[in-house]
Amino acid sequence: MKKKINSKQKGDSGERDFINEFKLICNVELKRNRDQTAEGGHDLLIARRSSNIARFIDDRYAIEVKRRGKIKPNDMIRFWEQARKQADEAQRYPLLAYREDYRQWRMLVPIMWHFTQTIDGTADMSLLGACKWIEFEMRQLQDD
């Protein structure tokens, strides 16, 4: 008989898996937000503000992580709404990391906000692409 997987355990495992991938690809250490269950809030925090990019992410973004066997379009809408709500509460911009079984991590990131200060849409990209996008945004804002 196949053992049913607890969704909380799968979520915790997904967060740990994403933390490892993010460090490997983006060279930024994240940690789980232990207060998220009791107080709400986004899933991950910066573990150490040891680089410009880590400080930029820490000051600007709220990271939400979703790990599911299969993700349907309605799931993505719900996940993004949750990420936006939690980011708004933290006065940050949302980043949604997600992964389906047998797939690579992807990120949904807000677009156009640097022109309008509002989120006008999203872009879905690989984890490497998201890291490069964040670095680009950091440089653009430093140049302004």
Domain extents for the chain?
Answer: 7-143
pTM metric for this prediction: 0.83
Name the residue among 61, 3, 6 with its Cα closest to residue 28. 61
At 57 the three-state DSSP class reads: helix
pLDDT confidence of residue 43: 76
pLDDT confidence of residue 137: 85
pLDDT tens per residue across all 144 residues of the chain: 555 566 555 567 888 898 899 899 988 888 888 766 545 577 787 777 878 888 888 888 999 999 999 999 999 999 999 999 999 999 999 999 999 999 999 999 888 655 555 667 888 999 999 999 999 888 887 776
Q: Is the Cβ–Cβ distance between 44 and 33 less than 8 Å?
A: yes
Q: What are phi and psi of 66, to 5 degrees?
A: -130, 130
pLDDT confidence of residue 3: 58
Q: Is the Cβ–Cβ distance between 64 and 95 less than 8 Å?
A: yes
Residue 81, CA distances (Å) to 27, 119, 128 in order: 28, 12, 23
Amino acid code (one letter) for 89: E
CATH number of 7-143: 3.40.1350.10
pLDDT confidence of residue 144: 61
